[in-house]
Each structure stands twice: as C-alpha cells, then as structure tokens.
Amino acid sequence: MGIVGTKTLVTYASKYGGTAGIAEKIGEVLREAGVETDVLPVDRVRDLAPYRAVILGSAVYIGGWRKPAVNFIRSREQELSGRPVWIFSSGPTGPADQGAFMGGGLLPKALLPVADRIHPRDVVIFGGAAFAERLKGLDKWILNNVKAPLGDFRDWAAIQSWAEAIARDLKGQN
C-alpha cells in the first residue's frame, strides 16, 4: 500500500465557510493534543503519503455531499482504506434531529458502499450554518423555500469532544 506518513489530514468541502470552520476547529483540537495536523480543502489535497490518518468532511446540499468531497472519497478509496478515517457532514440548520440526508442515514445513500469499504472509525453529522447575507442566488431561494432556519447551528462542544476522541485514538489511548 505504499508509505504511510506521520501527519493527520483534516480535509473538507465547504461552499460558504461553515464546514471549513468545523474542519479548522478539529485541526486546532488535534494540534493542542499534540497531533501534527494539516487542514486543507479537498481540492487542494495532492499526495496522501504524508498522512497516517484522514478526517473527511462535507457540507450537505439538497441531500448530497459537495462534489469535490464525493470525488475525493471515490478516487482515494484505496488510500483511505489503508488508514484510519473519520467522516463528518455539516448539515442541518435548526433542530439537530432533523436529518441531513433523505432516509435519515449518516451519509448520502450513493456513498454508503464506498464508505463501507473504507471502514471509517466514525461517521457523524454536525449542525451547520447558513447566513442570509452570504447565500447567493439559487441557494438563498432554495433555503427560503424549504423554510430551513438561518443561523449558526454548529455545536462547538460536540465538535470539540469528537476531535478529542480522535486525538486519543491516534495517540493510542482508547
């Protein structure tokens, strides 16, 4: 499977920055725990060789992941399978029990087979953030039409404790 490096990668697909903020927070928690970590948008990731673990996240739009995250998980399946992987989605605005995906799963249905083969250590959904002043054109219209609440529903405490558990796992303390 080739060389596996020592760093941890947090990589994400974000349209308006909400998911990028979650990825940055995860990176911060990992670094504070002494885990050497890079945080990068998925479309800027080249070689996975420097990384021994990957945390992959995407914003959710109309029940799906952002395309660059879909491309990433599909095209990197083999490398991801050889590493510990954690997956998060940044979706619902409003009540946390509101599903991000049709059918209420933890990932878009089309990605379940590839995710299964990668055997992620954990798959979670965090609340998202939608800001009226940032949304452009059709996005604003769609969100108004489905009457999704606007605002910041990112649960920083939940994000922090998830990242702390990852750090413990990576340091062999779980």
Ligand X SMILES: Cc1cc2nc3c(=O)[nH]c(=O)nc-3n(C[C@H](O)[C@H](O)[C@H](O)COP(=O)(O)O)c2cc1C
With respect to ligand X, which residue has the nearer C-beta, 20 or 70? 20
In angstroms, how far apart are the furthest CA atoms of the chain? 49
Alpha-carbon span 31 to 145, nearest angstrom: 40
Asked if 61 is part of the footprint of ligand X (rule: CB under 6 A), the reply reads: yes
- Count CB-CB contacts under 10 A for residue 138: 8
Q: How far is CA 1 from CA 5, 49, 56, 96, in A?
A: 12, 10, 20, 39
15 part of the interface to ligand X, by CB under 6 A? yes
Distance separating alpha carbons of residues 19 and 90, to the nearest angstrom: 6
Q: Does 149 bind ligand X (CB under 6 A)?
A: no
Q: How far is the CB of 14 from ligand X (least distance, A)?
A: 3
19 forms part of the interface with ligand X (CB under 6 A) = yes
Q: How far apart are CA 157 and CA 10, in angstroms?
A: 18
Residues 6+ apart with CB under 8 A from 118: 73, 77, 80, 81, 85
- Which residues on adjacent β-strands are paired with residue 152? 129
Contact region for ligand X (CB under 6 A) — 30-38, 47-55, 89-97, 105-113?
Answer: 89-97
Q: Mask: binding to ligand X, 92-131, rule CB under 6 A, as x and -? A: xx------x---------------------------xxx-
* 57 counts as binding ligand X under rule CB under 6 A: no
Closest distance of CB 18 from ligand X, Å = 3
- What x/- string results for residues 22 through 51 when contact with ligand X is judged by CB under 6 A? ------------------------------
Residues of the shown chain interacting with ligand X in the complex, contacts defined by CB under 6 A: 14-20, 59-63, 90-93, 100, 128-130, 135, 139, 142-143
